[in-house]
A and B are shown apart, each in its own frame.
Chain A
Amino acid sequence: MVLFEYEVLAIKPLFAYGQAAGIRLAFLLASSIGLMAVDHKYDYLDGIRSSLAILIYPVQQMVAFPVSAGNWMGENLTSRDSLLKKIDSLESQNVFLKAQMQKYTSLEIENMRLRDLLDAAERTGEKVLAAELIAVDLDPFSHKVLINKGNRHNAFKGQPVLDAEGVFGQTVHVTPITSVIMLISDPSHALPVQIDRTGLRTIAAGTGAMDKLELLHIPNNADLKVGDTVSSSGLGGVFPQGYPVAEIISFESDPTQPYARVFATPKARLDRSREVLLVWREKTKIEEVPPAPQVSKKGNPKQEVSALAP
């Protein structure tokens, strides 16, 4: 009797399943194609993604647990001596940074005054919030990391992220409690930059290697040297102006090619930083920008436009 029941259970659904599977597969394929198309082109699916992300947040926390527990243990078990040493070094570093800051503040005031004299728009201020990486691996072929700040902390999609040394990346998915950051080395990332020494504007594109960015469309006779530093130009409207991005490591000009091949290594420690900074640009002074036609004469019209955009 039991055997008979088992037979019925095992065989009947199998028999009935054959035709249903194909139809179901076709339906699911169609819906995945629809999902991908919508996800690629529009933002409608962000809500679904963030609610799913909340569901899987415990899994991510569980994965990150050994690392965070290790850090906690490390912090709690350090000796008094090493803590005192650390405080000493931090204090001296703090004094050094404060001294630098004094100079910077006076320079900023001077800069503002000069801009006032020139009747130019003031540079936007910035607000920052520290965030920590959650120790989980995402796809190894696209350089993305997860951080522990999200919507709830006013993070938004396309927000610039810095670390202590330079530009780190930007947010691509934001959920209430976490965000996914695309690093500047991701093959599909590019940011507008300029060479500090000459002011030459270019674009730094990710190459897929953590320690290499490519600078695009640089003429063969450009005034460039290995060791030149590259900063964000603020032209794209995403990254604020003037943050260090990279340092040029190779410059090959081949007269048979239309452009030189220039590579730079990112300043930010993309593979090592655990703390990053989310940046908000404050647009308090924008109302005082003179009307558009006047501005466009003073060069750099693109920047003004991007600063005005919401």
Chain B
Amino acid sequence: MSENKAAQGTSVIILTFLLAMILTILPMPEWAGYIRPEWVGLVLVYWCMALPTRVNVGVGWVAGIIVDVLNGSLLGQHAMAYAVIAYVTVKLHKQIRIYPLWQQALSIFTLIALSQLLIAWIRGIVGDAPNSWLYWLPSLTSAVIWPWLYLLLRDVRRKFRVS
């Protein structure tokens, strides 16, 4: 039975990542494109926090490569950023877990901003630096949406007994 649970858990994790990727490329009006939260980053942080032994830097890296292909961006930039935030989250998961939701949201803001900073650096190096402050909006919207996403994913994890 425990093996069965583990298998089920894996598919749930993959499914949440898949949904996050769908939300990442879902067509939106132009203004909404700027406030789109970093769905994949958020889901990654959640699973790193909840199950640091199963989801960590490796998963973050692979998810990042897929996001790079989806976005048509330089291969490896999201991979690098997600590996770093996965690492930080796994290191701090015990603290983040016990924070109240609003404080968790602050940590999320920092984490997503960190990943955006890394991507901005890389884009700066290849001569494609973001030229507007709107670039940083997703870290804000990610932090705003975090409490709801957290509760949702926690319910999902409990319902499907992912461990």
Contacts and interface: CB of A to CB of B under 8 A. Distances in A.
Interface of A: 10, 13-14, 17, 21-22, 24-25, 28-29, 31-36, 39-40, 45, 48-49, 52-53, 56, 59-60, 62-64, 67, 135-142, 144, 146, 172-173, 180, 187-188, 208, 210, 271
28 contacts: A14-B52, A17-B53, A17-B56, A22-B87, A24-B57, A28-B57, A28-B79, A28-B83, A29-B80, A29-B84, A32-B79, A32-B80, A33-B80, A34-B76, A35-B79, A39-B75, A49-B75, A59-B70, A62-B22, A63-B27, A137-B26, A137-B28, A137-B36, A138-B71, A142-B72, A142-B73, A146-B72, A188-B128
A287 to B, nearest CB: 37
A45 to B, nearest CB: 6
Q: Dominant SS at the B interface?
A: helix
Closest 8 CB pairs of A and B: A35-B76, A140-B33, A32-B80, A32-B76, A36-B76, A39-B75, A180-B72, A136-B25
A34 B28 CA distance: 33
B142 to A, nearest CB: 15
Contacts of B22: 59, 62-63
Interface string B60-92: 010011100111111111011001100100110
A141 B130 contact: yes
B127 interface: yes
A187 B128 contact: yes
B21 interface: yes
B84 A25 contact: yes
A91 B152 CA distance: 55
Given A17-B52, A36-B75, A48-B75, A28 B61 contact: yes
Q: Dominant SS at the A interface?
A: helix
B34 interface: yes
Contacts of A31: 76
A67 B25 CA distance: 13
B126 interface: yes
Chain B interface size band reads 35 or more
B30 interface: yes
Nearest to A2: B2
B112 to A, nearest CB: 16
A137 B25 contact: yes
Contact of A36 (B28, B33, B69, B74): B74
B34 A140 contact: yes
B74 A173 contact: no
Contacts of B57: 21, 24-25, 28
Contacts of B90: 17, 21
Given A25-B57, A146-B72, A63 B30 contact: no
A36 B53 contact: no
Given A14-B53, A59-B22, A137-B26, A32 B72 contact: no
B160 interface: no
Contacts of A28: 57-58, 61, 79-80, 83
Contacts of A144: 72
B135 interface: yes
B25 A32 contact: no
B95 interface: no
B84 A173 contact: no
Given A63-B26, A138-B25, A210-B30, 7 more contacts: A32-B76, A33-B80, A36-B74, A52-B66, A59-B18, A67-B27, A135-B27
A52 B76 contact: no
B69 A32 contact: no
A54 to B, nearest CB: 10
B4 interface: no
Contacts of A141: 130, 132, 135
A17 B52 CA distance: 9
Contacts of A53: 69
Given A56-B70, A59-B21, A63-B27, A33 B76 contact: yes
